[in-house]
Amino acid sequence: MIPKVKIFGGCVVSIIALGAAAVCVSLMFPLFFAEESRSKGILFDFVKWSTSSNVIDNSLQSPDVMVDGGLDSVCEQQLKVYVYEFPRRFNFGILKHTQVDLDLPWPDDEVPPPWAHRSRVEKSHSVEYWLLVDLLEGRRGDKQFIRVRDPKQADLFFVPFFSSLCYDTYGGKRTGLVSEDKAIQEEVVKLVVESPYWKHSGGEDHIIPLHHPNAFSFSRHLLNASIFIVADFGRTVPQVSSLKKDVVAPYYHVVPTYEDDNPDDPFNSRETLLFFQGTIKRKDNGIVRSKLADIIRNETGVHFEDGIKNETGYHQAAEGMRNSKFCLDPAGDTPASCRLFDAIVSHCVPVVLSDKIELPFEADLDYTSFALFYSVEESLEPGWLVSQLRNVSQVQWLQMWNRLKGVSHHFEYQFPSKKNDAVSMIWQQIHRKVPDIKLRIHRKERLKIADWWNW
């Protein structure tokens, strides 16, 4: 059977612009009415892939057209993704919605279970869940990828293992189940590396979410060729994880998004100058928090408090961020922290004090237009940080606040995913890596002398 793809209008427009109109049009029209593939439940979705996410362009949407797979080479935007058929005890089973059939994959014709019954802290690493439900849904027209059932057609392979949730469920010292987390990791590695698709590419075309700094910790080095979806590079080494091959993804924010943030005077209505509420005593990079506490706690306009991780605490944090001009984002146990994303969705200008932080979607977003960055060293000089913030003019602050309102949708995970939300942005980052990956895989296949020139 020739798989049918649903082509998104924008792609057609761009092809025409490239002068390949004749090819496209002649391929498209004979198949315009060929809708039969829907009935088999095998519907491949296609999306126009926007290169500039800052400019949200809805103007290219036009009626869907059916074309056959032969257009792939012309329409390079489409990513074909194969999802490994893993037992659900590696993914939704860990969410505990389903106690039956844990050894079977999630069925195609069933709606994936909602994310539920887990703490907000666990949810902050839930990118693995949102990517998988997006892939399994695969029925809407406006996606950046097609989920293919035939691995031979795939550009990329998705490993549906909830590595962060697995760590949170079994891996923490409290649970006494560390060996279980380790055993699952080993099972996943075995399934992946023994697959012919891994052997073919060496794993470069595999996508593995690994957001919690302790996720997949026992075995990730064995899959180090793959595209990891990470929070930062806090507890790893460059041979395992790097900016070049991996994708930095946002935390799922723990405070709710500030929906109707339209006061008459946003600058003055946010009465607190600088807000921080969280765990003050942290390990490693987080030591800066206690030092800062001593230095700035008593300054006027500064709220610097130890946070409580319960509903009262989250509610207070949300209120506090909405009432502050600036929100402090010092390093936590690792360089990144969920607090940055809480600040963004609260439209509170982030003040980032974390020398080794890496940020999501930085090819598309210039963070300096809506956040301030200071080195840890300078921030620890008494009085310095607060004087910097007081010196930011109302006009400058309003520009950043407006920008925050314009970018905060890039940090939302949701199902179904929306255009340029976090899931969609992650697909765009992955997409950019594909030409390089393909070049290396194709080249490797034909080289007689293994990498004769330093790649």
Ligand X SMILES: *[C@@H]1O[C@H](CO)[C@@H](O)[C@H](O)[C@H]1NC(C)=O
Binding site for ligand X (CB under 6 A): 224-225, 239, 245, 294, 297-298, 308, 310-313, 387-388, 391
The neighbouring-strand residues paired with 349 are: 326
How many other CB atoms are there within 10 angstroms of residue 5's CB atom?
25
Buried b / exposed e along 151-169 (16+ C-beta atoms within 10 A): beebbbbbbbbbbbbbbbb
User: Given the complex with ligand X, which of 137 and 319 has the nearer CB atom?
Assistant: 319
Minimal distance in Å, beta carbon 437 to ligand X?
A: 11
Minimal distance in Å, beta carbon 388 to ligand X?
A: 6
| Residues 6 or more apart whose Cβ sits within 8 Å of residue 93 | 87, 102
User: Given the complex with ligand X, which of 15 and 328 has the nearer CB atom?
Assistant: 328
Reading the block at residue 419, the tokens are 């255009």
Instruction: Say if residues 128 and 259 touch (Cβ distance below 8 Å).
Output: no
Cα 144 to Cα 78, 205, 225, 261, 278: the distances in Å are: 6, 16, 23, 31, 37
Rounded CA-CA distance 216/162 in Å is 9
Minimal distance in Å, beta carbon 283 to ligand X?
A: 22
Minimal distance in Å, beta carbon 306 to ligand X?
A: 10
DSSP assigned state of 114: P
User: Given the complex with ligand X, which of 51 and 310 has the nearer CB atom?
Assistant: 310
Minimal distance in Å, beta carbon 215 to ligand X?
A: 18
Residue type, 382: P
User: Given the complex with ligand X, which of 272 and 388 has the nearer CB atom?
Assistant: 388
Instruction: Say if residues 66 and 34 touch (Cβ distance below 8 Å).
Output: yes
User: Given the complex with ligand X, which of 199 and 297 has the nearer CB atom?
Assistant: 297
User: Given the complex with ligand X, which of 224 and 354 has the nearer CB atom?
Assistant: 224
Minimal distance in Å, beta carbon 88 to ligand X?
A: 30
Instruction: Say if residues 34 and 4 touch (Cβ distance below 8 Å).
Output: yes
- Own/partner contacts of 307-312, CB < 8 Å, gap of 24 or more, are 307/277, 307/278, 307/279, 309/119, 309/120, 309/121
Q: What DSSP assignment string belongs to 36-87?
A: GGGGGT--B-B----S-SSS---TT----EEEEGGGGGT-TT-EEEEEP---
Minimal distance in Å, beta carbon 419 to ligand X?
A: 32
Minimal distance in Å, beta carbon 390 to ligand X?
A: 9
Minimal distance in Å, beta carbon 333 to ligand X?
A: 22
User: Given the complex with ligand X, which of 28 and 293 has the nearer CB atom?
Assistant: 293
Residue type, 343: A
Reading the block at residue 13, the tokens are 């427009």
User: Given the complex with ligand X, which of 224 and 420 has the nearer CB atom?
Assistant: 224
Q: For 179-219, where are the E strands, in sequence order?
A: 206-209
User: Given the complex with ligand X, which of 26 and 312 has the nearer CB atom?
Assistant: 312
Minimal distance in Å, beta carbon 397 to ligand X?
A: 12
User: Given the complex with ligand X, which of 6 and 403 has the nearer CB atom?
Assistant: 403
Nearest to 82 by CA among 162, 4, 149: 149
Minimal distance in Å, beta carbon 70 to ligand X?
A: 34
User: Given the complex with ligand X, which of 3 and 313 has the nearer CB atom?
Assistant: 313
How many other CB atoms are there within 10 angstroms of residue 199's CB atom?
10
Nearest to 366 by CA among 5, 52, 30, 137: 52
